């Protein structure tokens, strides 16, 4: 059975004018190709960036003029922000070709280059030599409506891609080689656990590629250190990393802070001001706590990532920027997407390179290393001061630190050690001193504190999970002392806590 022949084309201005005769009686490129070409197509797929009514009118005219049935001619409305935006055209065309099930072995594709903008024609040429192989045609006015095949001899998938890899290979090889050196670029990160080794290796590899990165992890797990290391290992390291805490920006100022503003755009805007994107031009922009950005700012950010352009508040003119974005958040963005607080398309755009930093409670091998590192740092700061005493830590206190759950992660561990070093009575930090500092610095909180009533919950099970977590932390803080744990939990009688622990299946520590 012979393959089907499909023609795919944008509807151009000359095509749109053809049914009304506004084009001086010209058929337009599409009708010219169907009437004067030597191929009878089994399917004609037309992409329309104009209003739907004019596209439909053109299809009806084309079917009658060229004697094609309505089953043969397809019309697809595609809304483009700009008909010269290469990124958007490429994305929308690929989406449509995929929806048609292309490429297919039983279909011979032809793209029409003449209708539409030069950017649209360029995308056809690129796709014909890469993802969606096809023949190319174009029509000319002289001789009238003549149809010509276009056969570029270059091989984009081979020649150009190989050349790109050759140019990039030195840098990529350097980063790949560094991936075998756990410390490369992460000299300031103290680690030996498998979970951290895995994420650091991933970060070393992704640093070589000009793609967005999304770093997920609880508060205090080291997300900013990872962002700095990725920037240092990238080709942009010659410029300073620009860091922004999105959670610290007032909602109404998010757009102007990130993208800048024009004089007079709002009250108090007495002069033009560049935003963080312009400040990071040619460098890396670290957007910490990106989950706190308002939805309208997320829309602007998505466009900046897709097109490499920003529009300052109060301006109608776009500005080209060359910025790599590394984003981070402690929030569960997938849940935020489901709840409608974070755009799904932005999430997937950012998560090209996704890292998930493990919490300290899953890095048992690292706690002793961190304790030694932090004590050395604390002792170094106090060295030479008459009131300072060099500190060590007892085995009992060290064991207690290893077993604690650390809801505040590395930052909390450092704060506890620093406070314990200040208030300890002699050169050794004892376990009771560590417990005391934790009792002051930590409020007992459950891990699972994000309710989603809309999807339904089992309230008793949820409350029991909170009880188990709170009691476990209280028992750890009290060193297994049941009366002290009762006091921390606000339970007057320790026998009540004992019965509750038995009911929940919590074992008392010997």
State residue 330's pLDDT score: 92
Report residue 350 as tokens.
Answer: 């950012």
Q: Is the four-CA dihedral 385, 387, 392, 397 of positive or negative sign?
A: negative
Task: Quote the CA–CA distance of 331 and 463 in Å, as a whole number.
Answer: 22
Torsion angle (degrees, nearest 10) of CA 247, 310, 351, 276 = -40
Strand (E) or helix (H) holding 147: strand 146-150
State residue 268's pLDDT score: 87
Secondary structure letter of residue 261 according to DSSP: B
Report residue 413 as tokens.
Answer: 């561990």
Bin 480: left if φ > 0, else alpha if -120 < ψ < 50, else beta.
left
Buried b (16+ CB within 10 A) or exposed e, 156-186: eeeeeeeeeeeeeeeeeeebeebbeebebbb
Strand partners, 214: 327, 354
Task: Quote the CA–CA distance of 75 and 50 in Å, as a whole number.
Answer: 11
State residue 445's pLDDT score: 45
Strand (E) or helix (H) holding 354: strand 353-356
State residue 329's pLDDT score: 95
Phi, psi for residue 313 in degrees, rounded to 5: -60, 130
Report residue 186 as tokens.
Answer: 């992460």
387 vs 380, 418, 420, CA distance in Å? 13, 15, 15
Task: Quote the CA–CA distance of 152 and 376 in Å, as a whole number.
Answer: 66
Report residue 479 as tokens.
Answer: 């060193």
State residue 444's pLDDT score: 41
State residue 293's pLDDT score: 96
Task: Quote the CA–CA distance of 219 and 411 in Å, as a whole number.
Answer: 8
**Taking Cα atoms as reference points, which of 5, 79, 14 lies closest to residue 44?**
5
**pLDDT averages per 10-residue partition of the chain, 510 residues:** 89 91 76 92 95 92 92 92 88 91 91 94 91 91 78 63 48 52 74 92 90 93 94 93 95 94 90 95 96 94 92 93 96 89 92 92 92 93 78 93 88 91 88 81 47 59 76 79 82 80 74
Task: Quote the CA–CA distance of 305 and 307 in Å, as a whole number.
Answer: 6
Task: Quote the CA–CA distance of 433 and 401 in Å, as a whole number.
Answer: 12
Task: Quote the CA–CA distance of 291 and 287 in Å, as a whole number.
Answer: 10
Secondary structure letter of residue 213 according to DSSP: E
Cis peptide before 103 (omega within 30 of 0): yes
Beta-carbon contacts of 470 under 8 Å, excluding residues fewer than 6 positions away, are 444, 445, 446, 489
Tell me the residue length of the chain.
510
State residue 448's pLDDT score: 46
Secondary structure (3-state) at 217: coil
Tally of CA atoms within 13 A in the half-sphere of 49 that contains its CB: 19
Q: In what order do the strands lie in the sheet with 146-150?
A: 73-77, 43-48, 4-10, 107-112, 135-140, 146-150
Phi, psi for residue 186 in degrees, rounded to 5: -125, 35
């Amino acid at each position: 059975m012979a393959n089907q022949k499909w023609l795919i084309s944008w509807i151009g201005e000359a095509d749109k004018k053809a049914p009304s005769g506004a084009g001086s009686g010209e058929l337009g490129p599409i009708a010219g190709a169907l009437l004067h070409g030597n191929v009878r197509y089994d399917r004609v797929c037309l992409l329309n960036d104009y209003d739907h009514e004019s596209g439909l009118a053109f299809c009806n005219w084309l079917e009658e003029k060229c004697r094609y049935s309505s089953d043969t001619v397809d019309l697809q409305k595609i809304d483009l922000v700009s008909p010269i935006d290469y990124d958007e055209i490429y994305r929308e065309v690929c989406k449509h070709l995929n929806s048609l099930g292309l490429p297919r072995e039983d279909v011979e594709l032809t793209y029409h280059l003449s209708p539409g903008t030069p950017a649209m024609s360029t995308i056809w040429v690129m796709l014909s030599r890469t993802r969606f192989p096809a023949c190319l045609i174009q029509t000319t006015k002289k001789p009238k409506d003549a149809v010509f095949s276009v056969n570029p001899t270059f091989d984009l998938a081979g020649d150009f891609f190989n050349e790109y890899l050759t140019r990039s290979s030195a840098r990529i090889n350097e980063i790949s080689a560094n991936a075998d050196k756990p410390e490369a670029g992460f000299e300031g990160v103290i680690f030996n656990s498998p979970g951290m080794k895995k994420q650091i290796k991933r970060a070393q590899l992704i640093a070589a590629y000009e793609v967005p990165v999304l770093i997920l992890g609880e508060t205090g797990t080291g997300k900013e250190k990872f962002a700095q290391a990725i920037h240092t290992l990238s080709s942009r390291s010659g410029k300073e990393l620009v860091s922004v805490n999105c959670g610290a920006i007032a909602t109404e100022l998010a757009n102007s802070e990130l993208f800048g503003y024009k004089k007079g755009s709002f009250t108090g805007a007495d002069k033009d001001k560049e935003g963080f994107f312009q400040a990071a031009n040619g460098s890396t922009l670290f957007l910490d706590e990106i989950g706190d950005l308002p939805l309208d700012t997320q829309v602007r950010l998505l466009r900046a990532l897709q097109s490499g352009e920003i529009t300052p508040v109060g301006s109608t003119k776009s500005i080209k920027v060359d910025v790599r974005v590394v984003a981070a958040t402690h929030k569960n963005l997938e849940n935020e997407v489901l709840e409608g607080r974070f755009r799904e398309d932005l999430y997937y755009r950012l998560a090209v390179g996704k890292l998930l930093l493990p919490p300290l409670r899953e890095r048992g091998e690292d706690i002793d290393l961190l304790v030694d590192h932090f004590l050395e740092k604390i002792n170094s700061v106090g060295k030479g001061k008459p009131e300072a005493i060099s500190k060590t830590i007892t085995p009992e206190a060290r064991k207690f630190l290893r077993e604690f759950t650390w809801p505040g992660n590395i930052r909390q561990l450092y704060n506890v050690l620093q406070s314990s070093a200040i208030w300890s009575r002699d050169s050794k930090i004892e376990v009771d001193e560590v417990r005391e500092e934790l009792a002051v610095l930590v409020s007992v909180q459950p891990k699972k504190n994000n309710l989603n009533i809309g999807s339904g919950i089992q309230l008793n099970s949820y409350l029991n999970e909170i009880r188990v977590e709170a009691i476990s932390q209280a028992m750890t803080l009290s060193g297994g002392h049941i009366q002290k744990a009762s006091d921390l939990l606000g339970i007057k009688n320790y026998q009540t806590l004992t019965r509750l622990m038995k009911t929940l299946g919590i074992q008392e520590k010997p």
